[in-house]
Amino acid sequence: MRLSRGYWQTLKETPSDAEVISQKLMLRSGLIYKTAAGLYTYLPMAFRTLKKVEKIVREELDRIGCFEVQMPLMTPAELWKESGRWDTMGPQMLKVQDRAERELCFSPTNEETITDVFRKTISSYKQLPVCLYQINTKFRDEIRPRFGLMRAREFSMKDGYSLHLDKESLDKFYDEIYGAYSNIFRRLGLEFIAVEADGGAMASGGAKTHEFQVVAGNGEDDVVHVPQTGFAANIEKAMTERRGLTTLPASELTKFATPNQKTCEEVCSAHGFDITHSLKSIIMVATIKGKDQFFMVMILGDDSLNEVKFKNKVAADDIRPAHQAELETLGLVKGSMGPTVETDKLKIIFDETVDMNSSYVVGANEDGFHFKGFVPSRDTKAKHFRADMRLAKDGDFIGEHAITMKKGIEVGHIFQLGDKYTKAMKVTVLNDKGQAVTPIMGCYGIGVSRVIASSIEQNHDENGIIWPASIAPYDVYLGYIGKAPEFKDIAESIFSELNSQFEVLFDDRGMGPGAMFKDADLLGLPIRVTLGERDFNATGEIEVKIRKTGETLKVKKEELAATIKTKLSELGKWA
């Protein structure tokens, strides 16, 4: 592509509402245009990268025997009602009515659509296993679209779905897809870890699920990592242990004044208690089988609630913190809530780190007062039980090793669904004995557009993007510095020669070297080739610069193509 006739505009200033580096660089380097919150136009450079990411995804999935399909953007409400998700997906799912007042939604994912396809087209075990995938636009009305392509409302996702007769077949395929994902993210040039994820209520019975997380400071996910063993898990799933806790012996339950001291930190520091000798009360509302139920979760004063563990434990469809008005109906006083409350309107869950026979500081349900000497097993009047409720944090242990917390961006997710959809949507196939049985499914997602943002988060410097060679919009940035018309002709001939072997962006705009190099660095193609009139006429040498390493070579015209080929290969272009 020659820039004099191309479409490419860079910005001098970073748009003020851009928050993370990938978003800033994508906007500044003219890759994307923000049409509205969470809605982006992919300009030519980003579109080329998007197609390259898609190609790698396709190649690896096709290699393990998956087939590409395309499902409709809209899904009729009936299918979602069959699975039960029409009412549980929440406001992320954008619902509309057509002219005949039929309800539809913009697909946020496609389990229902594919399950319907499976049940109408697959009737025998002989047609199994099978995996179909698509790469297309998904819409999720995210409450906070942000970070550019990282959390958009409209985005490109690869979603795949497999159907199996039994768990053995699903497990075997799961390993294959895990391998394909590892190849995909390796070829995309990403530093990633596959982490054990939370499978929700579905994961009971040994269903596996992994997230592929790109390690990056701006990631929104917390990953628990044990470098010594390579173990990695999503924070929501990680079972870690707190070590070195001390406890206070049981003592008499005593009320004491805590004026204006609302939090565990405030009460403990004012009265000389260790924060781990206090308990925090968190009031949650869980919607279970359509009914709201109240829970008081008790965790150590400096711990946080793991909402996913809570949701799974009580098997809720949805959970949220209780509102002020609800606290009042339960007889609880904000800033002083505690587990001595006597009511059958809530159940209390003590986190497993709480020693049921030791003393703790807790709220007294009276404004400005707390209790000390609260012994859970002795002083709890409401119905209660114990469970693991806390969020893992730095300093926790798994076995003999201390964990490390890392920030990650979820770029892929693989999931054994079991019979969740096939059962709800009444899919059956005949097994080899001619009996109708319910097959099981797996689903496999990749955030294709999010991959681009993640790649930039990992690969950039102060001057701009540093594309992995496998997904760069072009291979080579070819620029020339010189005024003579004969020299322009030489540049043209080098362009056509290189362009027949590589993807070349030819900067023939006639800009000065300063501005041209700035643009080249900002866009970050793997190799920059500069033809300088003076050098070329004097020695016949052409400059080749590697964006990633800054390495500069001087080569003759005859060696140019071979040098580029070697360098691109070293940079993983054909990985």
User: Which residues form the interface with ligand ATP (CB under 6 A)?
Assistant: 109, 140, 142, 151-152, 155, 157, 410-413, 445, 447, 449-450
Q: Which does 411 bind (CB under 5 to 8 A by kind): Mg ion, ligand ATP, none?
A: ligand ATP
Q: Which does 520 bind (CB under 5 to 8 A by kind): ligand ATP, Mg ion, none?
A: none
The alpha carbon dihedral of 326, 332, 338, 340 has a sign of negative
The answer for residues whose C-beta is within 8 angstroms of residue 493's C-beta and 6 or more apart is none
Q: Taking the complex as a whole, how short is the minimal distance between the CB of residue 480 and ligand ATP, in angstroms?
A: 39
Q: Which does 406 bind (CB under 5 to 8 A by kind): Mg ion, ligand ATP, none?
A: none
- List binders of Mg ion among 401-420 (CB under 5 A): 413
Q: Taking the complex as a whole, how short is the minimal distance between the CB of residue 115 and ligand ATP, in angstroms?
A: 16
How many CB atoms lie under 10 A from the CB of residue 409? 30
Q: Which does 152 bind (CB under 5 to 8 A by kind): ligand ATP, Mg ion, none?
A: ligand ATP
Q: Taking the complex as a whole, how short is the minimal distance between the CB of residue 204 and Mg ion, in angstroms?
A: 18
Q: Taking the complex as a whole, how short is the minimal distance between the CB of residue 134 and ligand ATP, in angstroms?
A: 13
Q: Which does 450 bind (CB under 5 to 8 A by kind): ligand ATP, Mg ion, none?
A: ligand ATP
Q: Does 210 engage in binding with Mg ion (CB under 5 A)?
A: no
Task: Return d(Cα 50, Cα 539) in angstroms, integer.
Answer: 40
* Closest residue by Cα to residue 142 from 132, 154, 131, 134: 154
CA distances from residue 222 to 140, 225, 392, 399, 554 in whole angstroms, order as listed:
22, 10, 9, 20, 45
Inter-axis angle of helices 448-458 and 44-63, to 10 degrees?
A: 110
Please identify, using beta-carbon distances, which residue of 210 and 280 lies nearer to Mg ion: 210
Q: Taking the complex as a whole, how short is the minimal distance between the CB of residue 477 and Mg ion, in angstroms?
A: 36
182 CB-contact burial (10 Å; exposed 0-12 / middle 13-18 / buried 19+):
middle
Q: Taking the complex as a whole, how short is the minimal distance between the CB of residue 147 and ligand ATP, in angstroms?
A: 9
Please identify, using beta-carbon distances, which residue of 223 and 349 lies nearer to ligand ATP: 223
Q: Does 390 engage in binding with Mg ion (CB under 5 A)?
A: no
Please identify, using beta-carbon distances, which residue of 415 and 477 lies nearer to ligand ATP: 415
In the bound state, the residue with its beta carbon closest to ligand ATP is 447
Please identify, using beta-carbon distances, which residue of 53 and 427 lies nearer to ligand ATP: 53
Query: b vs e for 317-350, b when ≥16 Cβ sit within 10 Å of the residue's Cβ?
Result: bebeebeeebbeebebbebbbbbbbeeeebbbbb
Please identify, using beta-carbon distances, which residue of 308 and 333 lies nearer to ligand ATP: 308
Task: Return d(Cα 541, Cα 556) in angstroms, integer.
Answer: 5
Task: Return d(Cα 575, Cα 570) in angstroms, integer.
Answer: 9
Q: Which does 139 bind (CB under 5 to 8 A by kind): Mg ion, ligand ATP, none?
A: none
How many CB atoms lie under 10 A from the CB of residue 501? 13
Please identify, using beta-carbon distances, which residue of 338 and 445 lies nearer to ligand ATP: 445
Contact 32, 431 (CB under 8 A): no
| Token duo for residue 446 | 């990749």
Q: Taking the complex as a whole, how short is the minimal distance between the CB of residue 415 and Mg ion, in angstroms?
A: 8
Q: Which does 412 bind (CB under 5 to 8 A by kind): ligand ATP, Mg ion, none?
A: ligand ATP
Q: Taking the complex as a whole, how short is the minimal distance between the CB of residue 180 and ligand ATP, in angstroms?
A: 15
Query: b vs e for 386-396, b when ≥16 Cβ sit within 10 Å of the residue's Cβ?
Result: eeebbbbbeeb
H/E element, 553: strand 552-556
CA distances from residue 155 to 50, 139, 348 in whole angstroms, order as listed:
11, 7, 41
Please identify, using beta-carbon distances, which residue of 408 and 479 lies nearer to Mg ion: 408
Q: Taking the complex as a whole, how short is the minimal distance between the CB of residue 508 and ligand ATP, in angstroms?
A: 36
Size of the site for Mg ion (CB under 5 A): 1
Inter-axis angle of helices 557-570 and 485-499, to 10 degrees?
A: 40
In the bound state, the residue with its beta carbon closest to Mg ion is 413
Please identify, using beta-carbon distances, which residue of 71 and 128 lies nearer to ligand ATP: 71
Q: Which does 366 bind (CB under 5 to 8 A by kind): Mg ion, ligand ATP, none?
A: none
Contact 547, 189 (CB under 8 A): no
How does DSSP assign 238-250, residue by residue?
A: ---B--S---BPP
Please identify, using beta-carbon distances, which residue of 313 and 413 lies nearer to Mg ion: 413
Bridge partner list, 416: 442
Q: Does 450 engage in binding with Mg ion (CB under 5 A)?
A: no
Q: Taking the complex as a whole, how short is the minimal distance between the CB of residue 443 and Mg ion, in angstroms?
A: 10
Q: Which does 151 bind (CB under 5 to 8 A by kind): ligand ATP, Mg ion, none?
A: ligand ATP
Q: Does 151 engage in binding with Mg ion (CB under 5 A)?
A: no
Residue 502's SS3 state is coil
Q: Taking the complex as a whole, how short is the minimal distance between the CB of residue 449 and ligand ATP, in angstroms?
A: 6
Task: Return d(Cα 368, Cα 57) in angstroms, integer.
Answer: 59
Q: What residues line the site for Mg ion (CB under 5 A)?
A: 413
